[in-house]
Amino acid sequence: MSDPTLSGDSASATNPVSRTGGALQRMTARSRTEEHRASTPLELFFDLCFVVAVAQAGGRLVHAVTDGRAGHGVLGYLLVFFAIWWAWMNFSWFASAYDTDDVAYRVTTLVQIVGVLVLAAGVPRAFDDGDFQLTAIGYAVMRLALVTQWLRAARTEQGAVRATALRYAAGVTVCQVGWMALLLPHGAPPVWAFALLAVAEMSVPPLAERTAPTAWHPHHIAERYGLFTIIVLGESVSAATVAIQSAVDEHQTLSALIPIAIGGLLIVFAAWWIYFAVPIHDHLASNRQAFLWGYGHFAVLGTAAVIGAGLEITVDQAVGTADLSTRAAAAWVTVPTGVFLFTVWLLHSRHYKRGPAQQLTLPVAALAVGLCAFTGSHAVLWAGLVCAVTVATSVALQVRATE
């Protein structure tokens, strides 16, 4: 795959325009070497609105599991979270290359926010009744708004870069036609059909950029993913806090919830520490590396959200409102935490680890956290302690390596 450090035929990649939210501007690629590139207030607002949909998906997963429909809940969560994650990811990569921050760009981004809010409103129907029509409409609003952005970029760009923008617009449009044909008449998609369209969606970027990559900014992309990870982890803390508060108010019990609260906080704190332990932007040196890293975040972000749902499930089980065994409830925390740790290691931590001790720390910790489900009523606390020890071990090994 082409080296994304090259700007292709974009005539203005090194000529950034004024970005003040003013009148309509030429949508030309931003420079890859632009210094101090950071997320904008609009991008942060965009992320916060997307977390509304993540919270809805996590909440319905909790209800499905506590009602004894775990398989149904997991399937619904995967379908909905894919739509949320994919729409967010496509916007973030486009914005990294073409954020003009003029009126048209801002309005189109706000339309995408409307789309995710419509999608979020349809999540209960999707989970409870298998009716994905409203979520499909919200998803289409997000995706077709992005198509207009790609067409706008194509009007300005020339040569191979213009062809890349047009391929993006065409690919996204074709996929939306497929989703509408699948979801609007029937509501609940067959799993095989959903998987086929999901693969088609994920094939658009590598096919579109096969001859001329877009001018995404490595530092900016790394920051965008990091910020969304923080927000999702924060939503997990919020969901767990509300669950504990409700349990205490309704059942007047605290002793059984303190270990869950402590363990949950240790897990979330460790997840944040481990994710940001290395500067990943230096690894994003090509489309191949960046796409694999970006696609892998489906597991990182998805499990980060499930950790919060799992904490809610363990709280419900502890106060007797969920018909689950202690081990099964704990697994909803320990398993996603283990997957999170392993995926973070696989995506970027391993690229900066030196020696077998550093390389094995996170994979061994992931396995140990998963096995904590078998430790009884204090499984979440044990999982949190394992995560804390993992952080301490990683820090100690890093200090030793630099001495």
Share the mean pLDDT of the chain. 87
Q: Angle 176-51-217 (CA atoms, 0-180°, nearest 5)?
A: 70
Instruction: Place 113 in a pLDDT band, splitting at 50, 70 and 90.
Output: very high
List, for residues 311-343, the tens digit of each pLDDT value: 999 998 988 888 899 999 999 999 999 999 999
Above 60 in pLDDT, residue 3?
no
Average confidence (pLDDT) over 189-199: 88
Q: How far is residue 188's CA from residue 205's CA, in Å, rounded to a whole number?
A: 27
Residue 400: the pLDDT is: 85
Average confidence (pLDDT) over 185-214: 87
Q: Name the residue with higher pLDDT: 145 or 402.
A: 145
Q: How far is residue 253's CA from residue 270's CA, in Å, rounded to a whole number?
A: 27
SS3 135: helix
Percentage of the chain beyond pLDDT 90 is 59
Average confidence (pLDDT) over 118-138: 88
Q: Name the residue with higher pLDDT: 292 or 186.
A: 292
Instruction: Place 187 in a pLDDT band, splitting at 50, 70 and 90.
Output: low
Helix axes 379-402, 258-275, angle to 10 degrees: 30
Residue 16: the pLDDT is: 42
Domain assignments of the chain as residue spans, ordered by start: 41-208, 218-402
In 159-295 the beta strands, taken as DSSP E runs, fall at none
DSSP state of 190: P
Above 50 in pLDDT, residue 384?
yes
List, for residues 259-312, the tens digit of each pLDDT value: 999 999 999 999 999 999 888 887 887 888 888 999 999 999 999 999 999 999
Count helices and strands in the chain by DSSP H and E runs: 12, 0
Q: How far is residue 295's CA from residue 203's CA, in Å, rounded to a whole number?
A: 11
For residues 366 and 301, the answer to whether their CB atoms sit within 8 Å is no
Element (H, E) at 360: helix 355-371
Residue 245: the pLDDT is: 83
List, for residues 343-359, the tens digit of each pLDDT value: 999 998 888 888 899 89
DSSP 55-104: HHHHHHHHHHHHTT-HHHHHHHHHHHHHHHHHHHHHHHHHHHHH---SHH
List, for residues 387-398, the tens digit of each pLDDT value: 999 999 999 998
Q: How far is residue 163's CA from residue 184's CA, in Å, rounded to a whole number?
A: 31
Average confidence (pLDDT) over 61-78: 91
Instruction: Place 57 in a pLDDT band, splitting at 50, 70 and 90.
Output: very high
Instruction: Place 23 in a pLDDT band, splitting at 50, 70 and 90.
Output: low
Enter the tokens of residue 72: 């149904």
